Amino acid sequence: MGFDVHHIREQFPILKTTMHGKPLVYLDNGATTLKPKAVVDAIDHYYEEKTSNVHRGAYQLSSDATDLYEGARVKVRDFINARTENEVVFTKGATQALNLVAQSWGIHNLKAGDEILCSELEHHSSFLPWQYVARVTGATLKFIPLTEEGRITVENTKSVLTENTKVIAINYVSNVMGYIAPIKEIAALAHSVGAILTVDAAQALPHMKVDVQDLDCDFLSFSAHKMCGPTGTGVLYGKLDLLNVMEPIEFGGEMIDLVGDVTSTWKDAPYRFEAGTPVIAGAIGLGAAIDFIETVGYENIVAQELKLRQHAIAGMKEIDGLTIFNEGAETGIISFNVDGVHPHDMASIYDAEGICVRAGHHCAQPLMKWLCQPATVRASFYFYNTMEDVEAFLAATRQGKEFFSDVFF
């Protein structure tokens, strides 16, 4: 069957709810996506019928839970085309995964004189871990200059790459601009000087096929909740030869090999990085989210997002005094401001109409500085949004524009 948005929407119970008496128009998918019933059911199934801890119990129930948890790891392996499931570390989210690389690989491998390349396009979760590593190791943090449009390119990466570059830490898709970075080419550049590439793919996995072997990145992080999965769950992919020589950053149950009075030894990856009871229900939910996304199909996801985005941009261009910051983006994000109106004021207008958008700095303050804006409004579409959602968004935008021009001018 072809893509039928109404059939898709039936699988998201929250879309039947209302907000301020209006149908819910959810355009904050960059922050988190809605959850289909299949994901909620998979989590319920674990809690209602398989609750037990994993890797520990010598009884059938625990063995069943372990199969579900490890089965999810295999699903992630296939989904991102990792060489082995041992390259898949479950974390509590992209933020924890990105910090794990910086705290474990970064702190132990960098010294004064080494250079880390980052960019002003980064989410704080991609940037701050390396800012901290630079501070404590004495390494230098450098920005890849952005193009006029605000993109990371191969050329501008080359312009700051040196023999001292040891890490490139960048996003695959920007959470404010929605641009896709040329990760495969930048991985080759990094490796040409012996550096590693760690990729923040939190906004990539929801929208596009990611093949870690094809990209040849060294690390890649993402969150389940941005791709129809549960909150509190994420993944760090890492090349196995790197993961297996990295020190854990958390210590506790199940990550050990042998514990002595003075020193102890660790399990191989991924378990050395999963101290304590892991994110069992979350991983199972992520597995169900992967099944769901594969059933919908990335080609349909992208086509629907871009159709909506195009329609929204065309409508927005008919409204005077509106600045769009990322007209050429390849994913369903639109960042904009209405001249003279604070983004939070616009967000209240949308909210009154049942429309959810994000307003603020989007955890990307260096980018706000680059854009010379304290904040922006961000509407982010996903495949369950409709043309009616776009129309409601455009009507509220016009209404906000008129309301605030009457108030202030």
Residue 77 sits in the site that holds ligand C6P (CB under 6 A): no
- Which range in 49-57, 93-101, 140-148, 324-332 contacts ligand C6P by CB under 6 A? 93-101
Nearer to ligand C6P, 302 or 319 (CB): 302
- Write out the DSSP string of 316-384: HTTSTTEEES-TT-SSSEEEEEETTS-HHHHHHHHHHTTEE-EEE-TT-HHHHHHHT-S-EEEEE--TT
Number of residues that bind ligand C6P (CB under 6 A): 18
Nearer to ligand C6P, 30 or 248 (CB): 30
Nearer to ligand C6P, 123 or 151 (CB): 123
Residue 93 sits in the site that holds ligand C6P (CB under 6 A): yes
Q: How far is the CB of 357 from ligand C6P (least distance, A)?
A: 11
Nearer to ligand C6P, 39 or 202 (CB): 202
Q: CA 339, 352, 307 angle in degrees (round to 5)? A: 70
For the beta carbon of residue 7, count every other beta carbon within 10 angstroms: 10
> In whole angstroms, what is the distance from residue 184 CA to residue 101 CA?
19
Amino acid at 355: I
Residue 31 sits in the site that holds ligand C6P (CB under 6 A): yes
Residue 223 sits in the site that holds ligand C6P (CB under 6 A): yes
Q: Figure out which of the listed residues 104, 203, 331, 376 binds ligand C6P, where binding follows CB under 6 A.
A: 203
Residue 200 sits in the site that holds ligand C6P (CB under 6 A): yes
Helix (H), strand (E) at residue 53: none
Q: How far is the CB of 226 from ligand C6P (least distance, A)?
A: 6
Residue recorded with tokens 């409004």: 377
Residue 95 sits in the site that holds ligand C6P (CB under 6 A): yes
Parallel/antiparallel/unpaired status of strands 234-238 and 219-223: antiparallel
Q: Figure out which of the listed residues 50, 73, 123, 309 binds ligand C6P, where binding follows CB under 6 A.
A: 123
Residue 335 sits in the site that holds ligand C6P (CB under 6 A): no
Reading the block at residue 299, the tokens are 């080609």
> In whole angstroms, what is the distance from residue 68 CA to residue 62 CA?
10
Nearer to ligand C6P, 125 or 153 (CB): 125
- Which range in 34-42, 198-206, 287-295, 320-328 contacts ligand C6P by CB under 6 A? 198-206
Residue 33 sits in the site that holds ligand C6P (CB under 6 A): no
Helix (H), strand (E) at residue 178: none
Contact track, ligand C6P, 157-176, x by CB under 6 A: --------------x---x-
Parallel/antiparallel/unpaired status of strands 219-223 and 115-119: unpaired
Using CA atoms of 223, 226, 230, 231 in order, give the dihedral in degrees to the nearest 10.
60
Q: How far is the CB of 283 from ligand C6P (least distance, A)?
A: 15
Length of the chain (residues): 409
Q: Figure out which of the listed residues 42, 94, 235, 390 binds ligand C6P, where binding follows CB under 6 A.
A: 94
228 is catalytic: no
Q: How far is the CB of 396 from ligand C6P (least distance, A)?
A: 20
Distance of CA 367 to the CA centre of its chain: 17
- Write out the DSSP string of 145-160: PPPTTS---HHHHHTT
Residue 206 sits in the site that holds ligand C6P (CB under 6 A): no
Contacts of 330 (CB under 8 A, 6+ apart): 178, 179, 180, 306
The active-site residue, picked from 118, 228, 356, 363, is: 363
Q: How far is the CB of 146 from ligand C6P (least distance, A)?
A: 15
Q: Which residues bind ligand C6P (CB under 6 A)?
A: 30-31, 93-95, 123, 125-126, 171, 175, 200, 202-203, 223, 225, 358, 362-363
Residues recognised as catalytic: 363
